[in-house]
Structure 1
Amino acid sequence: MVKGLVAARHASGLSQAALAHRLGRNPSYVAKVELAERRLDVIELLVILRVLGADPADFIKSLFLTIPDTLPR
């Protein structure tokens, strides 16, 4: 998921700081998300995708194709 978010941010032409500004958050919020130090809930993910102009259905579909069949331990 993180790689997809970073790719979507790059495709939108936004820096981490610019995305954070549009989200009303500190730049460290975006950095922690992109470093997988912070998990997102579904609403947070959808808000970020909206700000990036990314299609949530396409994002989730590509994410779905990469997940394992079992939960990690």
Structure 2
Amino acid sequence: MTKAIYRNEHEVFLLLLKRLRTESGLTQAACSTALGRPQSFMSDVERGVRRLDIVQLRDLCIVLNTTLPIFTQRYEDALSKNF
């Protein structure tokens, strides 16, 4: 099995995170600050350099004004459009 970071699903995940951040009107810096992290945190996440665990993803969803279940549904919807 191909490593997740090289799969299309990972690219869709990263694009969705960036889309949600921009839709919420937050810069990478503002989003990182809300998470108590340096600006480079969101940059690394969106570039796929840093991976998120489920707890971090949930925290990020809260900052982006969504919930983990809604994020998951949007992710599944985006995947279905890409395949």
TM-score, normalised to structure 2, is 0.73
Whole-Å Cα distance in 2 between the matches of residues 25 and 44 of structure 1?
Answer: 11
Whole-Å Cα distance in 1 between the matches of residues 44 and 64 of structure 2?
Answer: 17
Report how many aligned residue pairs link the two structures: 67
5+ residue gaps, structure 1, are 68-73
**Paired AA for residue 36 in structure 1:** G
Give the equivalent residue in structure 2 for 1:71. Answer: none
Give the equivalent residue in structure 1 for 2:35. Answer: 23
Cα distance, 1:20 vs structure 2 = 0.8
Give the equivalent residue in structure 2 for 1:47. Answer: 59
- 1:4 and 2:16 aligned: yes
Give the equivalent residue in structure 2 for 1:64. Answer: 76
TM-score, normalised to structure 1, is 0.83
RMSD, aligned CA:
1.4
Identical-residue share of aligned pairs (%): 33
**Paired AA for residue 18 in structure 1:** A
Cα distance, 1:56 vs structure 2 = 1.9
Whole-Å Cα distance in 2 between the matches of residues 24 and 59 of structure 1?
Answer: 21
Whole-Å Cα distance in 1 between the matches of residues 65 and 74 of structure 2?
Answer: 16
5+ residue gaps, structure 2, are 1-12
Whole-Å Cα distance in 2 between the matches of residues 9 and 18 of structure 1?
Answer: 10
